[in-house]
């Protein structure tokens, strides 16, 4: 078979140029993250095609069609795989980027591979963002409303841009159609067009770890004893890494199936509070630290700078060294950025209102265990950094509390409604159990316990 192809297409010559890079014996498993990302992308493509066979892309039918998919065990699992796959893809592509950065592999001669990787990253984020709207539930509808609203902060053309993204003034059926075509056609094509050169460059140049041995080989040294062939030795390791990731994906999708919220309601009659997908929480949290008039800077300026740094990195970074030890500045800056982003993401995720377990009334509540979680989930969206009174932590909370005297504590009277307006303002009041628990805590002396 191979011989037949070879006679006609000179396949083996081609294969040799692509696969015949001597790989050092102790190569690092982290170097296979790109391959793992490819696997997850294939998972997305396959499950996406399956979903597309039953999904109905219209505002009137989208939600019901997803509901129908959720109705069957396989359907629910496929959707869960697709949704979990999106998370995996974002995580893996970022880890892959960080690994490549750490190894200095974006430097000569691999600048173009890096740039194509940047396109793939943006394409992936675009897919995640456009896919969020498609189930046409409250979460997707309002996350898209808020997400596209950011575009309006672009100076000059902002409002026009916003209307282009939504195909109208607000998120409507027309937006769904637009997002659907982006998600199904435009972005996958962009990803494919960027991926082909990306993988071709990798195969053609070999992975960065093969550089030293390749140079030695060119000098005529015998590298046989120091290397193992890519095919099939390294390939086996690669597929094993992918298998581990695949099992994790399959298991998580099965154990934690993705649910479906309430159908999209453009009028938001149930006062749903939007929150972004977890990977946008870093930006979401950062916005809270910017004073109002600098919002545009955070929403447009910073992403723009990030984009310029991402694509220009191989040219901005003049340090020819690839070894991490010889690049203290680059690694420190990146380290600070990564730690900062992880921190912001964590902070953002823990700041949104979430359902807290109803424990009933706690007779002698602890601040940390029973009281703070109520404030964190119900109050800090407004009474956090902004607002005149913050319940973000104990010290600021206690300012409106008279220990031992619930009825005399402004915190309490606002929560139970004896003093108007009742908090949370404009939303459902806290449950009676929660109110009583907070009362008990103040009665007990409002201790920081």
Interface with other proteins includes 146 (CB under 8 A)? yes
**Segment interacting with other proteins (CB under 8 A) among 67-75, 127-135, 161-169, 231-239:** 161-169
- Tokens for 298, please give them: 């955070």
In 206-328 the beta strands, taken as DSSP E runs, fall at 227-228
Under the criterion CB under 8 A, does residue 293 sit at the interface with other proteins?
yes
Q: Is residue 155 near other proteins by the rule CB under 8 A?
A: no
Closest CB 126 distance from other proteins, rounded Å: 15
In terms of C-beta density within 10 A (0-12 exposed, 13-18 middle, 19 or more buried), how is residue 167 classed?
A: middle
What minimum distance in Å lies between the beta carbon of 337 and other proteins?
24
Instruction: Using CB under 8 A, pick the residue from 9, 29, 60, 337 that binds other proteins.
Output: 60
> Least distance from C-beta 153 to other proteins, angstroms?
9
**What is d(CA 449, CA 440) in angstroms, rounded to the nearest whole number?**
13
d(CA 100, CA 291): 35
Query: Does residue 438 contact residue 374 with C-beta atoms inside 8 Å?
Result: yes
- Regarding 292 and contact with other proteins (CB under 8 A), the answer is yes
DSSP state, 233?
Answer: I
Q: Can you tell me which of 38, 125, 176, 213 binds other proteins, judged by CB under 8 A?
A: 176
Stretch that binds other proteins, among 15-23, 216-224, 242-250, 289-297 (CB under 8 A): 289-297
- CA geometry: angle at 270 spanning 268 and 273, to 5°? 70
Q: Is 167 in the site for other proteins (CB under 8 A)?
A: yes
Q: Is the peptide bond before 232 cis (omega within 30 degrees of 0)?
A: yes
DSSP per residue over 408-424, as a string?
A: G-HHHHHHHTSSSSPSS
* Nearer of residues 92 and 171 to other proteins, judged by Cβ: 171
CA distances in angstroms from 302 to 10, 296, 307, 377, 395, listed in the order given: 49, 9, 9, 29, 33
Of the residues 30, 95, 122, 149, which one makes contact with other proteins according to CB under 8 A: 149
From 24, 126, 158, 173, residue interacting with other proteins (rule: CB under 8 A): 173
Q: Which residues bind other proteins (CB under 8 A)?
A: 58-60, 142, 145-146, 149-150, 159-160, 163-164, 166-174, 176, 264-268, 271, 273-274, 287-288, 292-293, 295, 381-383, 386-387, 420-422, 424-427
């Amino acid at each position: 078979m191979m011989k037949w192809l070879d006679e006609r297409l000179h396949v083996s010559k081609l294969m040799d140029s692509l696969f015949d890079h001597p790989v050092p014996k102790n190569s690092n498993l982290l170097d296979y993250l790109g391959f793992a990302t490819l696997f997850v992308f294939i998972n997305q493509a396959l499950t996406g095609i399956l979903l597309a066979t039953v999904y109905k892309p219209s505002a009137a039918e989208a939600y019901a069609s997803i509901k129908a998919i959720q109705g069957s065990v396989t359907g629910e699992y496929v959707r869960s795989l697709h949704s979990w796959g999106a998370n995996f893809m974002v995580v893996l592509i970022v880890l892959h980027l960080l690994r490549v950065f750490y190894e200095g592999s974006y430097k000569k001669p691999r600048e173009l591979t890096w740039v194509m990787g940047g396109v793939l990253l943006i394409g992936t984020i675009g897919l995640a963002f456009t896919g969020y709207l498609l189930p046409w539930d409250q979460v997707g509808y309002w996350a898209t409303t808020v997400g596209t609203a950011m575009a309006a902060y672009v100076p000059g053309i902002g409002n026009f841009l916003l209307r282009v993204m939504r195909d109208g003034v607000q998120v409507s059926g027309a937006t769904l159609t637009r997002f659907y075509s982006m998600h199904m056609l435009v972005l996958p094509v962009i990803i494919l067009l960027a991926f082909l050169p990306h993988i071709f460059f990798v195969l053609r140049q070999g992975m960065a770890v093969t550089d030293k041995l390749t140079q030695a080989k060119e000098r005529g040294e015998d590298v046989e004893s120091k290397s193992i062939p890519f095919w099939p030795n390294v390939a086996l390791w690669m597929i094993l890494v992918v298998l581990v990731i695949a099992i994790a994906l399959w298991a998580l999708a099965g154990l934690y199936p993705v649910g479906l919220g309430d159908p999209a309601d453009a009028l938001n009659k149930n006062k749903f509070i939007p929150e972004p997908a977890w990977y946008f929480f870093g930006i979401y949290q950062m916005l809270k630290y910017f004073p109002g008039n600098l919002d545009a800077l955070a929403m447009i300026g910073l992403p723009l700078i990030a984009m310029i740094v991402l694509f220009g990195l191989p040219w901005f970074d003049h340090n020819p060294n690839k070894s991490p030890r010889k690049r203290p500045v680059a690694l420190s800056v990146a380290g600070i950025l990564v730690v900062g982003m992880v921190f912001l993401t964590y902070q953002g995720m823990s700041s949104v209102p979430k359902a807290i377990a109803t424990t009933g009334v706690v007779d002698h509540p602890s601040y940390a265990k029973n009281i703070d979680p109520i404030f964190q989930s119900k109050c800090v969206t407004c009474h956090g950094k902004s607002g005149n009174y913050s319940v973000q932590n104990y010290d600021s909370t206690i300012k409106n509390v008279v220990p031992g005297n619930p009825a005399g504590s402004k915190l309490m009277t606002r929560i139970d409604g004896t003093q108007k307006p009742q908090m949370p303002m404009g939303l459902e009041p806290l449950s009676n159990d929660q109110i009583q628990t907070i009362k008990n805590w103040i009665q007990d002396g409002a201790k920081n316990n």
